[in-house]
Structure 1
Amino acid sequence: MRHLGAMALCLGLAVAVGPALAQSSANSAPAAPAAPPVALQPAAELNLLKTIPLTRHPVAITEADTSSAADRRVSLPLHKSLPVELPSDVQDIVVGNPDIADVIVRSPRQVYVSGKALGDTNIFFIGRDGELLRRIEVAVRLDTATLQQTLKELLPGQRVEATAVNDTVFLRGKVPSAAIAANAVGIARRFVAADTNVVNLLEMGGEQQVLLRVRVAEVQKSALKEIDTQANLDLLANDFTFSGLTVGGATTALPFATGTLTVGSGAVTLNLLEQHGLVKTLAEPNLTAISGEEAKMLAGGEFPLPGPPDELGRISVEYKPFGVSLSFIPVVLGPGRISLKIATEVSAFSSAQTINVGVFTLPTLTVRRASTTVELPSGGSLMIAGLLSDDVASSLAGVPGLKDLPIIGPLFRSSSFQRSESELVITVTAFVVAPVDDKALALPTDGFVPSSDLDRYLLGRLHEVYLRREVPIDGVRGPLGYIVE
């Protein structure tokens, strides 16, 4: 700045002295034609700053230097370098944020800019005379070029575009299935620091709705056979009488007691029982969901159960569901291929057993449950669970000793034989579906017509025959209301 002040002072003196010298020379010399006025240039246009020698002190860069330098914007992949050619030898290099980018000087006119971390910064290259050789705006981004090439090689024919914003990669495009979209996301996660730094914006073409049909079929058979014998004997009063007897000779007399057992009336009861049972269970829930989304349904109810008491001693109530439940997550892998994560359950109250807890009598449930993950084509069926059970139980009870006597032993014992057979099958069928017109759908109430009084009382019908026709309007028939022309 001292140099600038001195030069400006000299320039001012030169401008002030110039007219005086011209006037004095005009007085001493003969008259001559007046010279045209000299147009003075501003100091900035004299480019005096370009002649300042390079000193050891920092040099301030003015707007003139900045405008003369060639600006350049560079998008640099992370952990990669880029060569930069300079018009003249470089003396100083200023990096805005050294944590984002670094500069390696190979020669006075060739340097390499390396990306160290994600972000934006700028770099100034200053020449030997203090002039600004070049200014570079550096944006260090993720290596989307390599990611794009990897996606092209591993997913040929798929239109997947990767765009990086700071440390996040956005995937855009349209793919035919969710499996390809999942593969693209998995590839992109190899290029970022965390899995959450990948945003999936891919669209899936084709039908992406899945209809799942589950069948739970069970047949239970039971057989019971019982033979029960009961003997009832009534003994009268003075049932036993004894008399003294003498056994042996005169020299040895041993008393021996004899008695008489008198039986009044008696009865032998024989119970024979044979019982057969058959139970059939069929549940067929249907549910539709979008690919990748979970769907749930419950056809049944909830029953209360007493829970633990609170601080005031009041018993809380919890509700447990029962009935037919279904939940699944479908994923359309490709044309006609579906992956299913299924959980289905059929539960009902069991009349065979209850639990007593305090003053409460709690019911028990019979449950058929299955949970699995399968893959099948659209319209294909698969059995996901099955059970075949055969239980045999027999028992024998009677009077100890008497029940083992020959011939009359069966009168003092009873036997029981019970056998239960159960067969359970759970099948699933999946369809890739599309919406249809409302008229193409059939409902259970279609064609239902309530029975008339004549059909109900005389014929015992609760409804008329199901017909495909319009339901008649109850009430007065004929034109009603107003006619507006």
Structure 2
Amino acid sequence: MNSKATFKVAALARTLAIGLVAATLVSAPVQQAAAQATQNASSSVDLSVGRGRLISLSAPMTDVFVADDKVADVQVRSSRQLYVFGKAPGETSIYATDASGRVVYSTVARVGNNIETIDQMLSLAMPDAKIASNTMNGFILLTGTVPSPDDAAEAERLVQAFVGDQTKVLSRLRTATPLQVNLQVRIAEVNRTLLKEISGNLLTRDRDGQFGNGFLGSVVRGRTAGTITYPGEGSSGATGTTYQFTTPAGVNSFGAAGRLFGLDVMASLDIGERSGMVVTLAQPNLTAISGETADFLAGGEFPVPIPGNFASTTIEYRKYGVSLAYTPTVLSNGRISLRVRPEVSELSTEGAIEMDGFQVPALTIRRAETTVELGSGESFMIAGLMNNRSIGAIDKVPGLGDVPLLGTLFKSDSFRRGETELVIVVTPYLVQPVTANEIKLPTDAYQDSNDLQRLLLNQTSDGVTGGDRPKPKLDTTVGDADRPRAAGTAAPGFSVGK
């Protein structure tokens, strides 16, 4: 009996020993995994300035370490809870350990500005602007004032990036002080023409009859050399043959008359040369708010008949003259992006058409359109707009016009050449309104002249009219590109040629 009891106790002891060893082997990895899980409970925490987060730990802690307490800091609520809050933008590391020095919690706190709303984002990005955002019916409306048009475009871009492409952004932002741009344009055109003409005409007549009367007349340039009159055909008492030459206006004629081969003969040689020059100078002057379009026309309108239904005709009017259209945009650095379109047009008979009994003239147009960027008071020139045209024509009698020397009397030679050169100078200015007492008109202080001044002194007025009027000046405070530069110094982005 004692031997059996001893065997049972020994077997039970071995079973308990094996169980304890197995339990120890199983619990060791679990404790290590739990400790590792507690240590890496959170790899990073994203915070905003002035905002915080409550962290719960799986094991008690005794110490907390913050790498940079200027970025973030902690408050310990209990041995298993701590409160992490952001103080300034940046990153810092946070560690929590237990009594044995084992890390029970570690994280990286990333602190940024609070941009949870559109208004907060705009206030941070554009502190000088006063912008309000309103969400309605699936889109965002921006209202308020900004310092410049560039700021309005930037605000719209930032909001669109913040909300994504699925939401539409409408901007009704206005500039705090609307920037106005005055544009001075000088359009100078020189038109030179040269006309040369040489023509010959011949007229014969038989004294004894009508044979040959006008036989060779009116064959060149649609006119005759003149007239031949015999006694009795003219006024009473006329004797002898009368030769009368016809000289066109604006030309010089060399003529000869006499009898040849029993015929009375008249021959004339017309030589003419005409040159002229037309100078056109227009100086349109316009002012517009930044971002708006202004246009100007100094000229007129001509009617154009338009056929309609049931044999009816309507009249439309087309414009011609000196016109200017431009759209200025003031940039954030004070420079001006300018889209300008000057045009000079005039009526011309070349290319004119007949329509329903009306002659519709054609238009000769010189036009330029470009976009440039320059500072207030700076100018750019559009030059090299030249047009050279030469026209030559020969009218002659077939066969006779080819005879050397004598053929000159049976042909006419005309030559026409035209040269046109157009130069456009554009100068924008940033301007502001002036008070009424600073404005002076050309009619100010005008007085009519009296009879003595008008008759003896040839004066049309008494005294000097008008006065010095405000003139735009070069603005040297709106950007480095607009400051006066020394000779030989190029504007930013340009170089001076040697």
Structure 2: gaps spanning 5 or more residues: 1-52, 56-113, 213-259, 468-498
Tell me which residue corresponds to 2:338: 340
Deviation at 1:218, TM superposition (A): 0.6
- Taking a change above 3 Å as real, the CA distance of residues 387 and 465 of structure 1, as seen in their structure-2 partners, is farther
- Residue 257 of structure 2: aligned partner: none
Q: Which amino acid aligns with 1:282?
A: L
Which of the pair is proportionally richer in strand? 1
Which residue, 379, 382, 386 being the options, matches 1:381? Answer: 379
Per the alignment, residue 126 of structure 1 pairs with none
Residues 192-203 of structure 1 correspond to what in structure 2 (within 5 A)?
Answer: 192=163, 197-203=168-174
Q: Is the 8 A contact 1:234 1:263 kept in 2?
A: no
Tell me the residue number matched to 2:234: none
**Following the alignment from structure 1 to structure 2, what is the Cα–Cα distance between the partners of residues 428 and 84?**
66
Can you list the C-alpha shifts for 1:268-310, whole angstroms capped at 9, x where unaligned?
1010101011111111111111111222333333333322335
Match of 2:402 in 1: 404
How far, CA to CA, are the matches of 2:183 and 2:167 in structure 1?
A: 31
TM-score by length of 1: 0.55
Structure 1 Cα separation of the partners of residues 346 and 293 of structure 2:
25
SS in 2 for 1:273: strand
**Aligned mates of 1:195, 1:265 — CA distance in 2:** 99
Contact 1:211 1:287 (8 Å CA) reproduced: yes
Structure 2 counterpart of 1:293, one-letter code = E
2:460 is aligned with 1:462? yes
Change (3 A) 1:276 1:444: same
* CA 1:380–1:432: 2 relative to 1, 3 Å: same
Match of 1:267 in 2: 266
- Could you tell me how far 1:429 is from its partner in structure 2? 1.0
| Alpha-carbon spacing, 1:467–1:161, altered in 2? closer, same or farther (3 Å) | closer
Question: Quick check: which has more Rg, 1 or 2?
Answer: 1
Equivalent of residue 233 in structure 1, options 195, 204, 216 = 204
Q: State the Cα deviation string for residues 164-220 of structure 1 (Å, max 9, x = none).
A: 525433446654421232132123223446698323354435561111112221110
The answer as to whether partners of 1:224 and 1:418 remain within 8 angstroms in 2 is yes
Matches within 5 A, 1:1-150: 145=116
Residue 428 in structure 1 maps to residue 426 in structure 2: yes
How far has the Cα of 1:339 moved from its partner?
A: 1.3
Q: 1:161 to 1:309 in 2, by over 3 A?
A: closer
Residue in structure 2 matched with residue 281 of structure 1 by the alignment: 280
Aligned partner of residue 292 in structure 2, secondary structure: coil
Residue in structure 1 matched with residue 492 of structure 2 by the alignment = none
Mapped to 2, the partners of 1:468 and 1:149 lie a distance apart of 55
Query: Pick from 131, 135, 156: which aligns with 1:185?
Result: 156
**CA distance in structure 2 between the partners assigned to 1:224 and 1:84 by the alignment:** 98
Deviation of 1:384 (Å): 4.1
CA spacing shift, 1:362–1:293, aligned 2, 3 Å: same
Deviation string, structure 1 residues 1-31 (Cα, Å, up to 9, x no partner) = xxxxxxxxxxxxxxxxxxxxxxxxxxxxxxx
1:138 aligned residue: none
Q: Could you give the per-residue CA deviations for residues 130-184 of structure 1, whole angstroms, max 9, x where no partner exists?
A: xxxxxxxxxxxxx96386787689x677657574525433446654421232132
Q: Which moved more, 1:329-338 or 1:216-225?
A: 329-338
Distance 2:127 2:352 in 1: 63
Q: Does 2:332 correspond to 1:361?
A: no
Match of 1:340, as an amino acid? L
Alpha carbons 1:356, 1:362 under 8 Å: kept: yes
Identify which range, 224-233 or 393-402, moves more after superposition.
393-402
Cα deviation code 1:447-485 (max 9, x no counterpart): 43233344445555433442459xxxxxxxxxxxxxxxx
Asked if the contact 1:144–1:164 (Cα under 8 Å) also holds between the matched residues in 2, the reply is no
Partner of 2:47: none
The percent of aligned pairs where both chains have the same amino acid is: 42
Q: Hey, what's the Cα distance between the residues in 2 that align with 1:220 and 1:196?
A: 58
1:315 alignment counterpart: 313
- Pairing partner for 1:218 from 177, 189, 192: 189
Q: 1:223: how far off?
A: 0.7
After TM superposition, the structure 1 = structure 2 runs for residues 247-262 of structure 1, keeping only pairs within 5 Å, are 262=261
Distance 1:309 1:454, change over 3 A: farther
Rounded to whole Å, the distance in 1 between the matches of 2:346 and 2:407 is 44
Residues of 1 paired with 2:165 and 2:307: CA distance?
44
Q: Which residue of 1 aligns with 2:488?
A: none
Q: Once the two structures are superposed, what CA deviation does each residue of 1:365-392 show, in whole Å capped at 9, x if it has no partner?
A: 3333333322211111112465111112
Q: Find the aligned partners of 2:173 and 2:118 in 1 and give their Cα distance.
A: 16
Local SS of the residue matching 2:367: strand
Distance in 2 between residues matched to 1:263 and 1:442, nearest whole Å: 82
CA offset at residue 351 of structure 1? 5.3
> CA separation of 1:449/1:427 partners in 2, compared to 1, >3 Å: closer, same or farther?
same
Change (3 A) 1:430 1:393: same
The amino acid across from 2:135 in the alignment is V
Which residues of structure 1 form unaligned runs of 5+?
A: 1-82, 86-142, 241-260, 470-485
User: What secondary structure is seen at the aligned counterpart in 1 of 2:401?
Assistant: helix
Q: Is the alpha carbon distance of 1:310 and 1:410 closer, same or farther for their aligned partners in structure 2, counting shifts above 3 Å? A: closer
Distance 1:320 1:170, change over 3 A: same
With over 3 angstroms needed to count, the CA separation of the structure-2 counterparts of 1:203 and 1:144, relative to structure 1, is: farther
Question: Structure 1: how far apart are the matches of 2:115 and 2:386?
Answer: 57
**Which amino acid in the other structure matches residue 177 of structure 1?**
S
- Summarize the Cα distance change of 1:414–1:305 in structure 2 as closer, same or farther, 3 Å threshold: closer
Q: 2:135 aligns with which of 154, 158, 165?
A: 165
Q: Could you tell me how far apart the structure 1 residues matched to 2:351 and 2:462 are?
A: 42
1:297 aligns with 2:296: yes
- Partners in 2 of 1:463 and 1:364 — Cα distance? 42
* Deviation for aligned residue 1:417: 1.7
What SS is found at the alignment partner of 1:450?
Answer: coil
Distance 1:161 1:357 in 2: 60
Question: For the residues of structure 1 that align with 2:347 and 2:167, how far apart are their CA atoms?
Answer: 46
Indicate if the aligned counterparts of 1:337 and 1:377 stay in contact, CA closer than 8 A: yes
Q: Do 2:131 and 2:146's aligned partners in 1 also have CA atoms closer than 8 Å?
A: no
- Give the Cα–Cα distance (whole angstroms) in 1 for the partners of residues 397 and 190 of structure 2: 39
- AA at the equivalent of 2:269: L
